Structure 1
């Protein structure tokens, strides 16, 4: 090898040796660094430092998600390396946008008449506002009847050049239509666009308590028309309420629905959807299974090929306000005719699976319960106070149907019997009395000595056994009652009534008066969960409240009672403890110990 080659070889070897030394040195320092980090981490975890603080902050975030989550990012962000600072900052900004919530419900709609404010404007101004509204999705479904009142509610305001009309991040309050001048939009301090006369901005403020997405500034003197959230929502709510009432009127004409409680009718209305058909579309083919109940809103349909019971019927037409498909919809049989759109059609429809989920598969059973409720509300109970409105649903759910053969003696005058109210479904019973000639206050009719009265379908008897007499005595019959035919009756016995009506007079050991409500921390189909504290104490609890009426309507009452009874008996460190249970006129409550993160 030449001297030049040896020199190059020595240089390369020297370079590798230096590189090796450097690598060893780097790994040595890295090891020392990792050991130091590990030692410090161990020490930190032993003390009330980063890990503990983050853990505490996270616990708080569970109860107060929006505010505490922001604090979590802010506090933990101070501890991370500079490399991740920008990512944490973005998370903070995103968390602040989680504050979007729905606007407060309007609970007095339909109860207190609402008159929107009126601001005088020129015809030209009104036309400009109307044109702007027609091009905005929020106002797409405003009826022509309500549109003039909505336009009158727009307030004219003058804004000087440079004024900040809306600030990014603030909660929205007004929707604006530009009458004159020009408005500039900025996001994060950067100009993103302009708006001119006839254009709009801020529409989401009418729907949500949402932070503004941009800052809006007047580029010149501006004439604006503004509408506040509450006015808009009240006008729209009145429109919905009026529309619902019209549909309710149609439903009351349907034989299968006319006897339903209005609460059920509103459930049907709230689940109706708008369906559109073109001219010539077939809405139903004869023989096909009907899966929709249809109410006509616009247009006309023709019903052809009608054959029922072997007889043919002439063609008929249906228009707005009329309906079809109810019989086969309820019975589950095939269509009795073919239905074809004669024009473009807009209809309100409800699918059978939705209907069944909402009110149950047996409409006739639902109608029976509704009729029972009406009867219970009007049956005389003598000196004892009758059931309150909210208790009627509970009583109806406790009625049990029973059958008795002809000749069955329900009870004899002057004897003791099982205290029960009987609602006659089918057949007839006889009622006679020898020593109590006037039963008008009990049964609603007079009965002379030796006279026998017949009570049949929709009638009732036995209410006198439930403490209708002067002494409040239970189970003593004032007349003799015998089945004249095979009879089917609904029976409501004393135990059921005690559980619902008599318990109302008992004082509860604990109630809402003893609790301080803080905020809602959860919600479900039948109620919600409140974070609360006992008055005079800082100890936190979770209060689960459920609406009685909804539990009855969805056949969940028995399940809730079982849940309460089971939880009262449970005592285990791994199971949530129920502190107390109570009720008021409308709701059931379970007070539980609060376990954050559970």
Structure 2
């Protein structure tokens, strides 16, 4: 395994954004400098053309859990759906590095990111800003013999430990490495290359964007928009995951978001009060993939007319969480202007959208 690493140029590596994930400022001269080598490949997947075979490497359940814990909370990975997660996690390859091995070298081109499974690595920056160095020292960080260590690799600014991810900027850009990463003991790491990640992400993002645009086209308030305008809204959608039995919102809450169901089931509950003041709650609708609710929150500042919660899915024996995509009123207004214009321009009814059983969700 060590020969394999040595054959590849000092172990492909971490990056500026990896430093930010550790709370470290981007090295001086990286941002704003005119670097001809900073670029990103243009990857295109055409309709009807199969993607290249993606690598897959077997892992133990414990290894899978560690990789997921490290990567799926990172901004690059956190919006992946379960199928995408499986592709990305499966593509990580196990590599090893001995004490003193340079995994990443500052200034080298980057094409891999790494998740550390075992061992520790020191991260060094050349020309580390003296003022920031003093600040770190005053804060007592990083804790390397209570000092900031300087070596031939530069200033040691932090320690990467098991579960940390380094080099993730390489997944987005063909950018020079912003730091040097050196193993200080035997390390086992998992490596993911840029082209594999971008192929997976581009393919899934393209499909998801198209699906979201089609969802939006079925919503009355959006029907009068052009496809381009719907794509703009689709790009602003945020992923929301709700565990079974948890509420998306409750009746009476003020509404400021619109939701579309991407997967799972949602139950709509409404509480009625009889003439004697007795309250009863009934499930009045069950919603599934492609159904939407809360669109009136984009138009009006009013309380929710019902409660919506994640419901068990009979097909998955109730184990599937509710996965939604959502856009806020503020984001919608920034993209499209005041929502009232949609009502005027498209003669959108002032009445709430009707759901099953003559029930409305606003």
TM-score band, normalised by the shorter chain?
0.5 to 0.7
Q: Distance in 2 between matches of 1:348 and 1:276?
A: 9
Structure 1 counterpart of 2:104, from 166, 185, 199: 166
> Hey, what's the Cα distance between the residues in 2 that align with 1:350 and 1:195?
36
What is the count of residue pairs matched by the alignment?
263
Structure 2: segments with no counterpart, 5+ residues: 1-26, 127-150, 274-281, 312-321, 348-362
CA gap of 1:127–1:146, structure 2 versus 1, over 3 A, is farther
Partner residue in 1 for 2:306 = 339
The answer as to whether partners of 2:105 and 2:177 remain within 8 angstroms in 1 is yes
Q: Which of 319, 324, 340 is the aligned partner of 2:287?
A: 319
1:156 Cα deviation after fit? 4.2
In structure 1, the partner of 2:258 is 293
- How far is the alpha carbon of 1:323 from its aligned partner? 1.6
The counterpart of 2:213, out of the listed 237, 241, 248, is: 248
Indicate the residue corresponding to 2:44 in structure 1: 108
Residue from 43, 60, 67 that aligns with 1:132: 67
Structure with more of its chain in helix, by fraction: 1
Change (3 A) 1:227 1:319: same
1:48-90 deviations in Å (ceiling 9; x for gaps): xxxxxxxxxxxxxxxxxxxxxxxxxxxxxxxxxxxxxxxxxxx
Match of 1:94 in 2: 28
CA distance in 2, matches of 1:96, 1:342: 46
Compared CA separation, residues 270 and 334, structure 1 to 2 (3 A): same
Alignment of 1:503-518 (within 5 A): none
**Correspondent of 1:148 among 55, 70, 86:** 86
Shift of 1:339: 1.4
Please give the secondary structure, in 2, of the residue aligned with 1:135.
helix
Where does 1:468-483 land on structure 2 (aligned, <5 Å)? none
Higher relative contact order (CA 8 A, sep 6+): 2
Q: Deviations over 1:411-446 (max 9, x none)?
A: xxxxxxxxxxxxxxxxxxxxxxxxxxxxxxxxxxxx
SS across alignment from 1:338: coil
Instruction: Tell me the SS of whatever aligns to 2:220.
Output: coil
Q: Secondary structure at the match of 2:51?
A: coil
Shift in Å, 1:267: 1.6
> Which of 52, 55, 66 is residue 118 of structure 1 equivalent to?
55
**Corresponding position of 1:25:** none
Residues 261 and 285 (structure 1 numbering): CA distance in 2 closer, same or farther, change over 3 Å?
A: same
Unaligned runs of 5+ in 1: 1-92, 307-313, 369-598
Distance 1:293 1:224 in 2: 41
Q: How does 1:334-413 map to 2 (within 5 A)?
A: 338-343=305-310, 347-352=324-329, 354-359=331-336, 361-363=340-342
Cα separation, 2, equivalents of 1:342 and 1:221: 48
Give the greater-gyration-radius structure (CA).
Answer: 1
Alpha-carbon distance in structure 1 between the residues aligned to 2:96 and 2:39: 28
Question: SS in structure 2 opposite 1:123?
Answer: coil
Distance in 2, Cα, partners of 1:100 & 1:143: 36
Q: Quote how far apart the aligned CAs of 1:175 are.
A: 0.7
* CA deviation vs aligned residue, 1:232-277 (integer Å, no higher than 9, x gap): 2332233333333333333233234346433222122122234678
TM-aligned CA deviation for residue 174 of structure 1: 1.3
| 1:206 aligns to 2:177 (yes or no) | no
